[in-house]
Amino acid sequence: MAAIIFIVILFFNIAIQAFLPKFLKESEVFGVYIPDTHVKDQRIIKMKKRYTTVVSMVGLVVLTLFIGYVLISSPPEQQIVFWGLAAQIGTVVLSMGLYAKNHIALANWKKEEKWTSGQVERKVVDLQFREQLKLLPSMYFVLPMLLTVSLGIYGLSQYDSLPDQIPTHWGANGEADAFTEKSWLSVSSLPFMTLVLQGMLWFFNRAMKQSGAKIQVRHKKRSREQQLAFRKYSSWLLFIVTITITLLMGYLQLSIIFPETMSTSVTMTATIAFLVIILGSVLFYAIKVGQSGTRLAVSHFDERMDGVIDPDDDQHWKFGLFYVNKNDPSILVEKRFGIGWTINMGHKTSWIFLLLIVGSIVLVTTLQ
């Protein structure tokens, strides 16, 4: 079963990484802002195609080798996990290496050929944008958190009847394969970490409302409609992830409280269902919505404006991946290379948020 899980995840990662340029805005290529005057540059089109071809071909070779290794050698689960992780890391390293090469080449072309020279940069501000957002209300995220708190309290109330060894990890076959001594911390660690994840997703949903809208100056109506839809779909994706995590972690918590009723087949089924829902939702999100809603059909089309471009904020994007702008009040910003959102590393709240997440994980792992 571990082999099947790793094969599915590896195939999913290869597909997303290979076709990622097709899901992004034409004006943001390999982390570099491209003005409208150059989005149809044949060099850029060939660069994106070459990236997709190389990642796809190498990824399929890696996937084929991994499947062949599993079928021919019938290795134990530990080796499947090791080589499965190695294959995942290898494909990521490959795609990021190609990204780095293309990012540097594009940045040099843009600088040497002065793509933005002679054009006026103009930022569009829509004061009514936030009022028309259709994000899910916070209650959708708070209720699962209350359920997790209730399960945590119930688990502590059953402390005396719990086994002396508390499971902390479950293998791909649904069996617990790591344990720790029973303590108040070990009993409550799973609900606590679930609560941390739920809180993170709730925070993202709220932060999206405060994030500045990237409305294109040459396509105001179209990009505005896409931005509204993009955030609505993003909110729903966060909610689906929240519910899925809550159900899986809740089941595992109940299996700790009632170990005699635990079924490895149910645990395995729950894990597979979790992966299918999460990966399926992300895939739908990427294909249907695309980054910034660029794949969504809209009803508005604008007349083009010559000599005017969107603000070139490359200086705030470190290597096209990390956004650092202390003058931007947005905590969350749309990714330039990838689907979804990233945090503004120039905002102090972002660092507080990261410290809380990392601190929570370190606290639980060190005290268990």
Kindly tell me if the per-residue pLDDT of 236 is higher than 90.
yes
pLDDT for 108-146, tens place per residue?
999 999 898 878 878 877 778 888 889 999 999 999 999
Beta strands in the chain (DSSP E): 28-29, 32-33, 120-121, 165-170, 176-181, 308-309, 317-318, 322-323, 332-334, 341-343
Kindly tell me if the per-residue pLDDT of 172 is higher than 70.
no
Which residue's entry shows tokens 């009514």?
A: 128
Burial of 105 (0-12, 13-18, 19+ CB in 10 A): middle
User: How many other β-carbons are positioned within 10 Å of the β-carbon of residue 258?
Assistant: 12
CA distance 237 to 285: 8
SS3 177: strand
CA distance 235 to 231: 6
User: Which range has highest mean pLDDT (55-69, 77-91, 296-310)?
Assistant: 55-69
* Cβ–Cβ under 8 Å, residues 237 and 281: yes
Please give the structure tokens belonging to residue 221: 């109506």
Instruction: Give residue 174's pLDDT band: very low, low, confident or very high (50, 70, 90).
Output: low
Question: Taking phi first (over 0 means left), then psi (-120 to 50 degrees means alpha), and beta for anything else, what does residue 338 get?
Answer: left
Question: For residue 195, how far is the Cα from the chain centroid?
Answer: 18
CA distance 75 to 79: 6
Which residue's entry shows tokens 């294109």?
A: 216
Burial of 27 (0-12, 13-18, 19+ CB in 10 A): buried
Report the pLDDT value the prediction gives residue 45, as an integer from 0 to 100.
94
Report the pLDDT value the prediction gives residue 368, as an integer from 0 to 100.
56
Q: Which long-range CB contacts under 8 A does 284-288 form with residues at least 24 apart?
A: 285/233, 285/234, 285/237, 285/339, 285/340, 286/16, 286/23, 286/339, 287/23, 288/233
Q: For helices 2-19 and 77-113, what crossing angle results, to 10°?
A: 10
* Cβ–Cβ under 8 Å, residues 289 and 340: no
Question: For residue 135, how far is the Cα from the chain centroid?
Answer: 18
* Cβ–Cβ under 8 Å, residues 27 and 34: yes
SS3 364: helix
Instruction: Give residue 56's pLDDT band: very low, low, confident or very high (50, 70, 90).
Output: very high
* Cβ–Cβ under 8 Å, residues 208 and 341: yes
Report the pLDDT value the prediction gives residue 263, as an integer from 0 to 100.
73
DSSP lists the bridge partners of residue 32 as: 29
Question: Please, where are the H alpha helices in 20-76?
Answer: 42-73
Kindly tell me if the per-residue pLDDT of 31 is higher than 70.
yes
SS3 135: coil
Instruction: Give residue 303's pLDDT band: very low, low, confident or very high (50, 70, 90).
Output: low
* Cβ–Cβ under 8 Å, residues 172 and 2: yes
Kindly tell me if the per-residue pLDDT of 237 is higher than 90.
yes
CA distance 42 to 59: 25
* Cβ–Cβ under 8 Å, residues 144 and 198: yes
